[in-house]
Amino acid sequence: MRSADDWLKLLHEVPDPEIPVLNVVEMGIVRTVESNDASVEVKITPTYMGCPAMDAIADDIRAQLSPLASQEGRSLSVELVYAPAWTTDWLSDSAKAKLEAYGIAPPGKTTDKRALNGEAPTVRCPKCKSEATELISLFGSTACKAHYRCNDCAEPFDHFKCI
């Protein structure tokens, strides 16, 4: 019989559908995994209330776990929870490094309140590492990203919004 930790490890193999360089555990979407003799319960939380990937993520988690759960005669449930609210602070340093290598400028710490006060945070270009960048749009290719441009290498890039 697999333990809760074993199930959690299996979820490290489920990529985020929109940012496949990170898995759903690294993204902070998987909050808890609990298991007993009869069931395996996974709780997931959305990055944004309207994140359209949540259904796909729940399906991917079921596809990954349900064959193994049924082999062990256990039921599987994937439940959506809203509290505590998702924050970019849950992204580990290694996850942020993967984001940058993938071409997405990672978020800073939410204790940096400049963004909320309308001031510009320092965003480093993921390609040439210049800090001479500017915001093009507060909203980018997905709900969790903003759109920036590097003034040194002239490349546009996504920045993971800091929330």
Partner 1 sequence: MNARYEYLLRLGDDALILGQQLGLWTGHGPVLEEDIALTNIGLDQIGQARAWLTMAGRAEEQGRDEDALAFHRTPAEFRNAQLCERPNGHFGDTIVRQFLFDAYAVQLHAALAHSKDADIAAIARKSAKESAYHLRHSSAWMVRLGDGTPESNDKVQASLNVLLPFAGDLFHADAVTDTATSEGWGVNPASLRPAWEATLAETLEAAQLQRPAPAPEQTGGRQGRHTEKLSYLLAEMQVLPRTYPDAKW
Number of Cβ within a 10 Å radius of residue 97: 11
What contacts 143, CB < 8 A, 6 or more positions away? Answer: 47, 48, 50, 51, 52
- Decide: is 3 part of the binding site for partner 1 (CB under 8 A): no
- Decide: is 48 part of the binding site for partner 1 (CB under 8 A): yes
- Decide: is 107 part of the binding site for partner 1 (CB under 8 A): no
C-alpha dihedral, 25 to 126 to 108 to 16, nearest 10°: -20
CB of 1 or CB of 83, closer to partner 1: 83
- Decide: is 58 part of the binding site for partner 1 (CB under 8 A): no
Residue of 5, 6, 39, 49 interacting with partner 1 (CB under 8 A): 49
Q: How far is the CB of 142 from partner 1 (least distance, A)?
A: 8
The site map against partner 1 for 119-148 (x = CB under 8 A) is -----------------xxxxxx-x---x-
Residues in 85-104 that interact with partner 1 by CB under 8 A: 85-86
CA angle 103, 15, 100 (to 5 degrees): 20
The amino acid that residue 155 corresponds to is E
Helices marked H in 3-161: 4-11, 54-71, 93-102
Q: How far is the CB of 37 from partner 1 (least distance, A)?
A: 29
